[in-house]
Structure 1
Amino acid sequence: MNDKMITGHTGLTCLLGSPVAHSISPAMHNESFRYHGLDYVYLAFDVKQEQFSQAVAGLISMDARGWNCTMPHKRLMYERADILSEEAKLIGAVNTVVQNNGVLTGYNTDGKGYMTAVRDAGYDITGQKMTLLGAGGAAASIVAQAALDGVTQIDLMARKGSSWDEIRAVADRVNSRTACRVQLYELQDEQQMKKSIRESRILVNASSVGMSPHEEGCLVPERDFFHPELIVSDVIYHPAKTRLLQMAEEAGCSTFNGMYMLLYQGAYAFELWTGKQMPIGLIKEKYFAV
């Protein structure tokens, strides 16, 4: 929380989702408000799906500056927004809202967070091929933003389950609206997975496989799927080094986890609300030091 007093003039920003008690977003944003001397506060509200519409109506009534949405509200917020950013239209989900006089503009900063983390790690994947594992919201946001940022080919490997049609729709939108070519394959096709990975500059695990407490999980079955020029990344940051990243390092690959994706998606939201840049160095030092 900010050192200063909360007053009748303090602007409200927040997180809507369930659960939210674990979120680092309040610490990041309140530290950044304090750094810039801004009279804002960021709170986290545990809002169930059936409470979502009432919560949004309340935030509009209270003239909140904006908010983040996490599960299970990203697609609901997409449907509720009055205006959508380019990446939100491709993804079909919203994680950041700016509120102006009751008009809600929806953005999705998750993919931007990932692509900025790639650049922060020192890599340029413009014009390159990506292989991505997963079919959920993280996968959709990364596919869309990678295409917008100049990745020319993406092989997307997903399980044929409840999210298959949704991720296929994202792939179709990206193919029709950008210069990137997205191919969708079944995750169980190990021969295709090996071919895709060996042709790629970067591999992304955008699934929850390998997340604590199931740290032994890994979607890539063998180390020989990798090649030394491959960058391997994981959206997971707990544990800091998943089984996938361990295998990749053993094969001579460069790796990074999802920690800075989390940081940068928040930084983009902060800038949308305030017009100022989050103090990245300070936030890294205080909340993301390894």
Structure 2
Amino acid sequence: MEYGCIGKKLGHSFSAVIHAKLGNYDYRLCELTETELTEFMTKKDFKGINVTIPYKETVIPFLDNIDESAKKIGAVNTVINNNGILTGYNTDFYGMTELLKKGSVELAGRKVFILGTGGTSKTARAVAKSLGASEINVVSRNPKNGEISYDEMYKRADEVEVIINTTPVGMFPKPDAFAVEPEKFPNLSGAADAVYNPLTTEFISRARACGANAVNGLYMLVAQAAKAAELFFNDKTMTEKTDKVFSEINKEKLNIVLIGMPGSGKTTIGKIVANALGREFCDTDGEFVKSNGAIADYFNSNGEAAFRDKESEIVSELGAKNGLVIATGGGAILRAENVKHLKQNGIVFFLDREVENIIPTSDRPLGSDREAIRKRYEERYPIYCSAADIKVDSNRDVNTVAADIEKAFNSMEGQV
């Protein structure tokens, strides 16, 4: 390969998509074991590569030269091959700095706690120092060399002002995991996560709920990739593309999620939106029926709790994917875990249809008559409003509603 990314597990990687948007060059993902890494670096059959977990330190002995800043950091994520001479750089420093600036995460004069001890942690330490952090603490499960334990971090909870997660905790396929609980730190003002898949990690979601400025790792990934491409081709214009590429990638990866009462048009409108945007459409009720048969029959035989359990499994699976239009069952938002899973990679639209315009049907076990519909509406309306990012009037023609959703989605600016 000419250009690409090497690492141990790259199934989650967005790097190839990002580089395809930066320029017209062949960029591939290359998973390597430790043994294969030695052969790859010795063979030198590439022009430029990015290096990711867990090889940002491992590649250093294979290099002929190391950029001064990368040497100080002690981690390399970009290698250039110039006629057999390998030179290592650290573009993560640029990427993380830009991420923190973009998300208004202020480090100057703050006590910063960095989770993890790998190559990205070393980069975070250098960034924190360069941005004027008053104190830098590295947190490890097995502390040594001046690091502190997670227990010690919690004991010093009042001191914690900024947290930077450089561990893979919370990364797909385990998006419910988190390294620390932001709620335990009363003075937390900022948080950053190097993880970018899911787009909003559990850690970042909870940090935002605490009122902290909190940023996801995708912008860092795009910024460092642009800086690496600049080194690949000696092209100073690459970093100028960062905002545009980030916005495009973020939008492509986001799911469009439709919530609302049964009969509010989620399935019909969702199909129109999916067709217009060239996306796959998924319906949580439809997915349930494929595996379990009619919902009303399942309700009668197994009860609502059993149905909700199955529904949650479907929501979790779909919410972890990217680029879908998802229509949810009317009661999917009744479980907080479902809302969380839908928001990890999604923007949530509430199709708000007045109860008088919702027609009861026999195939809806909790909405088979007018009285039942009204009761569900009154119970759920505040939950729909709370879960929604955008509320859309669904009392109009379905094509008009779909067009409004498309317009709102297309006008979105990428949020870090």
Q: When the two structures are superposed, what TM-score results if normalisation uses the length of structure 2?
A: 0.54
Does residue 1:281 correspond to 2:240, yes or no? Answer: no
Q: 1:71 to 1:124 in 2, by over 3 A?
A: closer
Q: 1:49 to 1:288 in 2, by over 3 A?
A: same
Comparing both chains, which one has the higher relative contact order based on Cα–Cα distances under 8 Å and sequence gaps of 6 or more? 1
Selected match of 1:219 from 159, 175, 179 = 179
* Residue type of the alignment partner of 1:283: V
**Alpha carbons 2:191, 2:204 under 8 Å: kept:** yes
Which runs of no fewer than 5 residues in structure 1 stay unpaired?
A: 1-10, 35-39, 169-182
What is the CA deviation profile of residues 216-270 of structure 1, one whole-angstrom value per residue up to 9, with x for unaligned ones?
Answer: 4333346241336x01222222333333223322222221111111111211111
Q: Which residue of 2 aligns with 1:208?
A: 168
Q: Which residue of 1 aligns with 2:151?
A: 188
Equivalence map 1:69-84=2 (5 Å): 69-84=51-66
Does residue 1:122 correspond to 2:104, yes or no? Answer: yes
Equivalence map 1:73-152=2 (5 Å): 73-152=55-134
State how far apart, in whole Å, the 2-side matches of 1:142 and 1:259 are: 16
What is the CA deviation profile of residues 188-216 of structure 1, one whole-angstrom value per residue up to 9, with x for unaligned ones?
Answer: 2254440331xx2x221222333344444
Q: Which residue of 2 aligns with 1:51?
A: 36
Q: Secondary structure at the match of 1:90?
A: helix
What is the CA deviation profile of residues 7-33 of structure 1, one whole-angstrom value per residue up to 9, with x for unaligned ones?
Answer: xxxx92122223334422222223222
Q: Secondary structure at the match of 2:59?
A: helix
Q: 1:72 to 1:135 in 2, by over 3 A?
A: closer
State how far apart, in whole Å, the 1-side matches of 2:6 and 2:180 are: 34
Q: 1:214 to 1:76 in 2, by over 3 A?
A: closer
Q: 1:187 to 1:269 in 2, by over 3 A?
A: same
Between stretches 96-105 and 204-213, larger displacement belongs to: 204-213
Deviation at 1:127, TM superposition (A): 4.4
Q: When the two structures are superposed, what TM-score results if normalisation uses the length of structure 1?
A: 0.75
* Residue type of the alignment partner of 2:229: F
Does residue 1:238 correspond to 2:220, yes or no? Answer: no
* Residue type of the alignment partner of 2:16: P
**Alpha carbons 2:74, 2:119 under 8 Å: kept:** no
**Alpha carbons 2:169, 2:178 under 8 Å: kept:** yes
Q: 1:59 to 1:31 in 2, by over 3 A?
A: farther
**Alpha carbons 1:155, 1:196 under 8 Å: kept:** no
Q: 1:92 to 1:263 in 2, by over 3 A?
A: same
Q: Secondary structure at the match of 1:203?
A: strand
**Alpha carbons 1:111, 1:146 under 8 Å: kept:** no
**Alpha carbons 2:50, 2:77 under 8 Å: kept:** yes
Which runs of no fewer than 5 residues in structure 2 stay unpaired?
A: 255-416
State how far apart, in whole Å, the 2-side matches of 1:145 and 1:95 are: 15
State how far apart, in whole Å, the 1-side matches of 2:245 and 2:151 are: 39
| Corresponding pairs, count | 249
State how far apart, in whole Å, the 2-side matches of 1:95 and 1:101 are: 20
Q: Secondary structure at the match of 1:217?
A: coil
* CA RMSD between the two structures: 2.5
* Residue type of the alignment partner of 2:18: M
State how far apart, in whole Å, the 1-side matches of 2:98 and 2:208 are: 22
Selected match of 2:48 from 58, 66, 69 = 66
State how far apart, in whole Å, the 2-side matches of 1:90 and 1:196 are: 27
* Residue type of the alignment partner of 1:119: K
**Alpha carbons 2:44, 2:84 under 8 Å: kept:** no
**Alpha carbons 1:83, 1:104 under 8 Å: kept:** yes
Q: Which residue of 2 aligns with 1:42?
A: 27
Q: 1:227 to 1:76 in 2, by over 3 A?
A: closer
Q: 1:119 to 1:69 in 2, by over 3 A?
A: same
* Residue type of the alignment partner of 2:197: H
Q: Which residue of 2 aligns with 1:268?
A: 227
Q: 1:70 to 1:253 in 2, by over 3 A?
A: closer
Greater helix proportion: 2
Larger Rg: 2
Selected match of 1:14 from 4, 10, 20 = 4
State how far apart, in whole Å, the 1-side matches of 2:39 and 2:180 are: 43
Q: Secondary structure at the match of 2:26?
A: strand
Deviation at 1:84, TM superposition (A): 1.3
**Alpha carbons 2:191, 2:213 under 8 Å: kept:** yes
